[in-house]
Amino acid sequence: MSETVASRSRIKDPSQAPSGHQAIEWARRNSPVLDGFVRKKVNDGSLRGKRVAVVVHLEAKTAFLATVLADAGAHVVAAGSNPWSTRDNVAAALVERGIEVHSTRGSTNEMWEADLSRVGDTSPDYVIDDGGELTIRMARDKPKLYAQLKGVSEETTTGVVRLRELERLGRLPMPVVAANDAALKHMFDNRFGTGQSTVQAVLALTNLRMAGKRFVVVGYGWVGRGIAAYAHALGARVTAVEVDPIRALEAHSDGHEVADMTTALSTADIAITATGGIRAITSRHFDALKPHVVLANAGHHDHEVDVPALIGQADSVDEVRPGVTRYRLGSKPVYVLSEGALVNIAGGLGHPVEIMDLSFSVQALGCHYLASNDLSPGIHQFPLELDKAIATAKLASRGITLDHLDEDQTDTLSEILDADTYQSWGNE
Amino acid sequence: MSSDAHHADPAVGRDMIDFAADFMPALQAAKAKVAQGGTLQGKRVGVALTLEPKTACLVEAIASLGAEVAVLGSSNSTKPAVANALADSGVKVFAEAGSTPERSAELRELFIDHKPELLIDDGAFNVRRIHTGRRDALESLDGVAEETTSGVRPLRNMAAAGQLEVPCVAVNDARTKLMFDNVYGTGQSVVMAILDSTNLQMQGKSVVVVGYGKVGRGIAAAARGLGARVTVTEIDPVEALAAHHDGLNVATIIEAVTSADFVITASGIGHSLIADHVAAMPDGAIVAVGGAGPPEFDPSMGVSLVWGDTVRDHIRELKTPDGKTVFVLSNGYCANTSAGEGNPIEIMDLSLALQLRAIDYLASNNLPAGVHLLPREIDDEVAASQLAAAGLKIDTPTEAQVNAAEQW
């Protein structure tokens, strides 16, 4: 079995497996929910023999998720959702554990496309997707296999938007669980996870100080909120740029400055994009940039900082530190981190382990929910009781106890809490 | 972040030095000021600081002022690419990353053989060595500028005992150093080094900070800002009361560590965190040092612990007698310089500008042996130079204010 898996896989170097195992073990150690409550729950036989494709940034935490699904009896095939985030040692360790992998770090775009295609060709029953990357390609390139998909669990805001678009076009023949919309995912992963790890990556790549910086965050969704909060906590003065008046008002109420792009960028020492769109910082903004400004992206696409436009206008392009590229616009140096790719993943270790413990618990339970229920085609909410079960398991792992309502304390309060939860958390 | 291929390439080191230089306006201003006096022309200067890009900027500034510079870097914090870039530009470099303790000691002797007239020391290791085993280098030594709290302390002890034979400037005690480097610099860089090497989150963590001096305050603020619940342990009632007023929990160390996720030392004093404390920690706790190197964390004192595997870069297991595993960052060396790039560039801009001004001050004044503070004007000028670079203006006191301040 293992040899077949190895020969089917495409990885960099099998000899890197030992350090990959160590990294996966560290992830396991710090993933009490996935390794406890979730492992037990998915192990009920409903995933036995099912083919599950995991197309998420292929590093230690994702690898641990893959092993939990494999331990539950699934045939797991893994690829990276971005060619720059794969850890070759982790890929090697997975293959050694009998999981088929198609990914190498820094592969060309063509190679990455070929990897996704190979994963699609395994005819997965279920896809754990990130950005809808595999699902969309299967819809486009493999209509027959696409029609046989039994379900998709989607990780990101961007991916859910893309899959909703497919649904609108009448091209979503299978049930999809919007894992991203789970409270335990976007409230934690997008805000705390991306927030902390983005700030971390910016500081690690540049060795700059946050205290006293003029810091611009473009987009004040969950990701932008988290980044702004931690930049502020470390002493930066934050300006948020928004196109949505409610979010702009929220940023203002959080104590940040709010301004239009040109005004904001003209003050920026560091500017981070977190819009989930494309070309958030582009040619028409370049004149406003101060010399030595640091630009980075925390949104899903690698095109939020318009690097092609910078290349087009720059007099010189040099990597001045690992992961830091300097573009000279006339006499003005502008720095871009990790070539505009997701800076926390391409320029750092990605999200903290404990955050991914929650996110991947949602993904694993999302996949299990698809496999153990006969859901109709279309996009489904992640069940609130599963959200709550994950939170409860996490709290228990920390030895934290909750209060409870007695019968004489209004019998509608718990319903109000649930309604609030959906209204405020579900609409992102 | 540097990959192995980049590890020792002097061209990479050169780029990193140049990148840092662009964010060091105070050092540039200090260099221009010192150039006016010409005091460093022809001097032998020794620089014993963490050997990475910011220090390299200081070294090159000193060299450009006409001095002959030798550099000593430690085995655990030297960045080879930077060391090689400096060596290529003609600086005498005594630094080998990962050198054995014996080789490190040998490098120190070679560094002292340079017979520095002016010495920038970190932890007072070289000035102490010169006063004891290397008195041959004492006569030519005109003055010392000391970088850290844990170096100034032994110098004051030496002075009190009548044993300090050269003038030493306590650069550490300058406001522009102590209020920034120790607080914001170490605070940010120690917390980030822990997060970078563990890939863990700070939100919801129980963090124990041992010592609530400047460094402890910075670490506590950064950890709390990122979502941790912080408990401070102290031996000084005033600092402990300050922690209480800052909204932090205060407890004895043996009590605090029992529920800790991260234990970060910031005491600057040897044997502050010992094996008995490790034995009281929960399984999986992580220990990092933010103050001074060994023996601030002393795992050999108390119950017997056993070192285990290195499970990630910079993270090593330490096993307790009852089978728990605690993880130690960088073997108990300062986390920010060992597992990271040290303090942020703009922070070191201030500290290193002060260092440059301090050796100029030593060279242009015939100070008596003892520990001296850097004059207030120099402190103020360095702070003002970074404010100016940030485009910030401040007020000057009016005559009425000056008069009011002088009344009694």
Give a yes or no: residue B163 inside a domain.
yes
Which strand (E) or helix (H) includes residue B325? strand B325-329
Contact residues for B182 (Cβ-Cβ < 8 A; gap 6+): B149, B172, B213, B214, B215, B218
Nearest residue on chain B to A233, judged by CA atoms?
B225
Give the mean pLDDT of A380-397.
95
Q: Which domain holds residue B255?
A: 183-338
User: pLDDT at position A419, please?
Assistant: 65
Rg of chain B over all Cα atoms, to the nearest angstrom: 22
Stretch among A79-83, A278-282, B192-196 having the lowest mean pLDDT: A79-83
Give a yes or no: residue A426 inside a domain.
no
User: Tens of pLDDT along A186-224?
Assistant: 899 999 999 999 999 999 999 999 999 999 999 999 999
User: pLDDT at position B225, please?
Assistant: 96
User: pLDDT at position A428, please?
Assistant: 41
C-beta atoms of A26 and B227 within 8 A: no
The answer to whether residues A333 and A318 touch, using CB atoms and an 8 Å cutoff, is no
pLDDT-derived band at B205 (thresholds 50, 70, 90) equals very high
The answer to whether residues B23 and A333 touch, using CB atoms and an 8 Å cutoff, is no
Cβ–Cβ contacts within 10 Å for residue B303, how many? 15
Q: What is the DSSP string of A274-321?
A: --SSS-SB-HHHHTTPPTTEEEEE-SSSTTSB-HHHHHHH-SEEEEEE
How many whole angstroms separate alpha carbon B311 and alpha carbon B197?
11
Residues in chain A with CB shorter than 8 Å from the CB of B227 are 192
* Phi, psi for A375 (deg, rounded to 5): -85, 150
Give a yes or no: residue A336 inside a domain.
yes
Tokens in use for B106? 């040998």
Give a yes or no: residue B408 inside a domain.
no
A211 and A278, same domain (yes or no): yes
The answer to whether residues B306 and B348 touch, using CB atoms and an 8 Å cutoff, is no
- Choose among A60, A203, A292: nearest Cβ to B192: A203
B104 and B118, same domain (yes or no): yes
Q: Which domain holds residue A219?
A: 191-346
Return left, alpha or beta for B182; rule: phi > 0 is left, psi -120 to 50 is alpha, else beta. alpha
How many whole angstroms separate alpha carbon A112 and alpha carbon A120?
12
Task: Flag whether residue B347 sits within 8 Å of chain A, measured between CB atoms.
Answer: yes
Give a yes or no: residue B401 inside a domain.
no
Tokens in use for B59? 């070294």
Give the CA count within 13 Å in the CB-facing half-sphere of A336: 27
A221 and A112, same domain (yes or no): no
Q: Strand, helix or coil at B267? A: coil
The answer to whether residues A338 and A346 touch, using CB atoms and an 8 Å cutoff, is yes
* Maximum alpha-carbon separation in chain B: 69
Q: What percent of chain B has pLDDT over 70?
A: 99
How many whole angstroms separate alpha carbon B85 and alpha carbon B95?
12
Interface predicted TM-score (ipTM) of this complex, two decimals: 0.88
Q: Strand, helix or coil at A118? A: helix
Tokens in use for A349? 């270790």
Task: Flag whether residue A88 sits within 8 Å of chain B, measured between CB atoms.
Answer: no
Pick the residue of B1, B194, B219, B392 with the most A CBs within 10 A to test the interface with A by mutation.
B1
Give a yes or no: residue B407 inside a domain.
no
Nearest residue on chain A to B202, judged by CA atoms?
A196
Find, among A397, A57, A197, A105, the residue nearest to B199 by Cα: A197
User: Tens of pLDDT along B4-55?
Assistant: 446 889 999 999 999 999 999 999 999 999 999 999 999 999 999 999 999 9
C-beta atoms of A347 and B1 within 8 A: yes
- Choose among B1, B201, B225: nearest Cβ to A323: B1
Question: Considering only residues 288 to 307 of chain B, which have any Cβ-Cβ distance to chain A shorter than 8 Å?
Answer: none
B108 and B95, same domain (yes or no): yes
How many whole angstroms separate alpha carbon B70 and alpha carbon A315?
37
C-beta atoms of B203 and A211 within 8 A: no
A62 and A136, same domain (yes or no): yes
A355 and A342, same domain (yes or no): no
Mean pLDDT of chain A: 93
Give a yes or no: residue A70 inside a domain.
yes
Tokens in use for B29? 């201003």
- Choose among A196, A292, A322: nearest Cβ to B1: A322
* Phi, psi for B69 (deg, rounded to 5): -110, 135
C-beta atoms of A207 and B201 within 8 A: no
A77 and A97, same domain (yes or no): yes
User: Tens of pLDDT along B303-342?
Assistant: 999 999 999 999 999 999 999 999 999 999 999 988 988 8
User: Tens of pLDDT along A114-141?
Assistant: 999 999 999 999 999 999 999 999 999 9
Q: Which residues pair with B232 in a beta bridge?
A: B209, B250
Give the mean pLDDT of B173-188.
95
Residue labelled with tokens 């890939």:
B199
Q: Strand, helix or coil at A103? A: coil
A180, A186, A192, A194: CA torsion to nearest 10 = 40
What number of C-beta contacts closer than 8 Å exist between A and B?
106
Distance from CA of A77 to the nearest CA of B (A): 25
User: pLDDT at position A277, please?
Assistant: 86
B379 and B333, same domain (yes or no): no
A123 and A58, same domain (yes or no): yes
Give the mean pLDDT of A64-79.
98
Which of A346, A378, A404 corresponds to the end of one domain?
A346
User: pLDDT at position A422, please?
Assistant: 56
How many whole angstroms separate alpha carbon A128 and alpha carbon A181?
14
A28 and A152, same domain (yes or no): yes
CATH number where A333 lies:
3.40.50.720
Q: What angle do CA A79, A84, A85 make, to 5 degrees?
A: 60
The answer to whether residues B80 and B105 touch, using CB atoms and an 8 Å cutoff, is no
The answer to whether residues B113 and B257 touch, using CB atoms and an 8 Å cutoff, is no
User: pLDDT at position A425, please?
Assistant: 45
Give the mean pLDDT of A231-255.
96
A269 and A364, same domain (yes or no): no
C-beta atoms of A233 and B188 within 8 A: no
Give a yes or no: residue A424 inside a domain.
no
End-to-end Cα distance, chain A: 43
Find, among B116, B18, B31, B39, the residue nearest to B72 by Cα: B116
A86 and A199, same domain (yes or no): no
B157 and B84, same domain (yes or no): yes
C-beta atoms of B346 and A319 within 8 A: no
B118 and B222, same domain (yes or no): no
Contact residues for B368 (Cβ-Cβ < 8 A; gap 6+): B167
Tokens in use for A3? 């040899």
B166 and B118, same domain (yes or no): yes
A265 and A323, same domain (yes or no): yes
Task: Flag whether residue B23 sits within 8 Å of chain A, measured between CB atoms.
Answer: yes
Tokens in use for A334? 């502008």
How many whole angstroms separate alpha carbon A168 and alpha carbon A175?
14
Give a yes or no: residue B140 inside a domain.
yes
Residue A365 DSSP class:
H
Give the mean pLDDT of B155-176.
97
The answer to whether residues B336 and B347 touch, using CB atoms and an 8 Å cutoff, is no
Give a yes or no: residue A280 inside a domain.
yes
Nearest residue on chain B to A21, judged by CA atoms?
B311
Residue B2 has pLDDT above 50, yes or no: no
Task: Flag whether residue A193 sits within 8 Å of chain B, measured between CB atoms.
Answer: yes
Give a yes or no: residue A416 inside a domain.
no
B248 and B385, same domain (yes or no): no
Q: Is A255 exposed, middle or buried (0-12, 13-18, 19+ CB in 10 A)?
A: exposed
Give the mean pLDDT of B45-68.
96
Contact residues for A167 (Cβ-Cβ < 8 A; gap 6+): A176, A378, A379
Give a yes or no: residue B108 inside a domain.
yes
Distance from CA of A173 to the nearest CA of B (A): 38
B88 and B201, same domain (yes or no): no
Contact residues for A420 (Cβ-Cβ < 8 A; gap 6+): none
A274 and A376, same domain (yes or no): no
Return left, alpha or beta for B124; rule: phi > 0 is left, psi -120 to 50 is alpha, else beta. left
Contact residues for A118 (Cβ-Cβ < 8 A; gap 6+): A10, A79, A102
Please give the single-letter amino acid code of residue A310.
Answer: L
Task: Flag whether residue B282 sits within 8 Å of chain A, measured between CB atoms.
Answer: no
Residue A153 has pLDDT above 90, yes or no: yes
User: pLDDT at position B292, please?
Assistant: 84
* Phi, psi for A127 (deg, rounded to 5): -120, 130
* Maximum alpha-carbon separation in chain A: 73
User: Tens of pLDDT along A312-364?
Assistant: 999 999 999 999 999 999 999 999 999 999 999 888 888 999 999 999 999 99
Residues in chain A with CB shorter than 8 Å from the CB of B352 are none
Find, among A306, A266, A299, the residue nearest to A283 by Cα: A306
Task: Flag whether residue B199 sits within 8 Å of chain A, measured between CB atoms.
Answer: yes
CA A301 to chain centre: 11
Give a yes or no: residue A428 inside a domain.
no
Task: Flag whether residue B283 sits within 8 Å of chain A, measured between CB atoms.
Answer: no
Q: Strand, helix or coil at B287? A: strand
Tokens in use for A191? 């805000």
C-beta atoms of B19 and A230 within 8 A: no
Cβ–Cβ contacts within 10 Å for residue B387, how many? 14
Give a yes or no: residue A421 inside a domain.
no
CATH number where B128 lies:
3.40.50.1480
Residues in chain B with CB shorter than 8 Å from the CB of A323 are 1
Strands B262-265, B286-289: pairing is parallel
Pick the residue of B54, B180, B203 with the most A CBs within 10 A to test the interface with A by mutation.
B203
How many whole angstroms separate alpha carbon A222 and alpha carbon A182?
13
Which strand (E) or helix (H) includes residue A272? strand A270-273
User: pLDDT at position A410, please?
Assistant: 67
How many whole angstroms separate alpha carbon A81 and alpha carbon A54?
9
- Choose among B15, B18, B222: nearest Cβ to A234: B222
Contact residues for A77 (Cβ-Cβ < 8 A; gap 6+): A51, A52, A53, A54, A99, A100, A101, A102, A119, A122, A124
Residue labelled with tokens 């104590």:
A255
The answer to whether residues A139 and A120 touch, using CB atoms and an 8 Å cutoff, is no
Rg of chain A over all Cα atoms, to the nearest angstrom: 22
Name the domain count of chain A. Answer: 2
B157 and B29, same domain (yes or no): yes
User: pLDDT at position A246, please?
Assistant: 95
CATH number where A45 lies:
3.40.50.1480
- Choose among A208, A318, A324: nearest Cβ to B344: A208
Contact residues for B328 (Cβ-Cβ < 8 A; gap 6+): B286, B287, B288, B297, B299, B315, B316, B317, B318
- Choose among B23, B192, B201: nearest Cβ to A204: B192
B330 and B373, same domain (yes or no): no
B154 and B303, same domain (yes or no): no
The answer to whether residues A78 and A85 touch, using CB atoms and an 8 Å cutoff, is no
CATH number where B305 lies:
3.40.50.720
Give a yes or no: residue B404 inside a domain.
no
Can the peptide bond before residue B295 be classed as cis, meaning omega within 30 degrees of 0?
yes
Residue B217 has pLDDT above 70, yes or no: yes
B200 and B231, same domain (yes or no): yes
User: pLDDT at position A413, please?
Assistant: 66
A292 and A377, same domain (yes or no): no
The answer to whether residues A344 and A202 touch, using CB atoms and an 8 Å cutoff, is no
Name the domain count of chain B. Answer: 2
How many whole angstroms separate alpha carbon B315 and alpha carbon B302?
22
Q: What angle do CA B182, B187, B190 make, to 5 degrees?
A: 110
